[in-house]
């Protein structure tokens, strides 16, 4: 299993728990929730660099390469969209959007791991 995936699971889970917890506590987005989704985006940027290096080093994507890169590009946009939502709408519901972004990226990382390893889709 890819270390980036394992780290991604932890980062996404922590972000989701922090953001959903803040929403349950009826708090507006704050530095902690915003920075947690920024950590998810930074992880994805590092994942992108790692994937490019792995490809250049000759490690192939065993599934469909276009599907892997499509998931990765989309995953990179999810935290950005959630961030802007939270900045523009300072209500507790924005924290739920941030939490959903963390969970969405987790699912996308899981699928990208399957595609890289050539596992058939669900």
Choice between 33 and 119, residue whose per-residue pLDDT is larger: 33
Backbone phi and psi for residue 60, each to the nearest 5 degrees, phi listed first: -80, 155
Look at the pTM and tell me if it is higher than 0.85: yes
Give the residue among 69, 99, 70 at the shortest CA–CA distance from 83: 99
What digits encode the pLDDT tens for the residues 16-70?
A: 999 999 999 999 999 999 999 999 999 999 999 999 999 999 988 898 999 999 9
Q: How far is CA 116 from CA 23, 76, 100, in A?
A: 34, 17, 24
């Amino acid at each position: 299993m890819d270390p980036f995936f394992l780290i991604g699971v932890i980062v996404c889970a922590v972000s989701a728990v922090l953001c959903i917890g803040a929403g349950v506590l009826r708090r507006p987005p704050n530095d902690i929730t915003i920075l947690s989704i920024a950590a998810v985006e930074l992880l994805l940027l590092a994942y992108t660099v790692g994937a490019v290096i792995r490809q250049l080093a000759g490690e192939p994507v065993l599934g469909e390469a276009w599907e892997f890169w499509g998931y990765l590009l989309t995953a990179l946009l999810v935290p950005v969209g959630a961030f802007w939502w939270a900045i523009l709408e300072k209500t507790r519901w924005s924290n739920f959007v941030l939490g959903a972004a963390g969970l969405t990226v987790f699912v996308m990382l899981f699928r990208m791991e399957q595609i890289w390893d050539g596992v058939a889709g669900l």
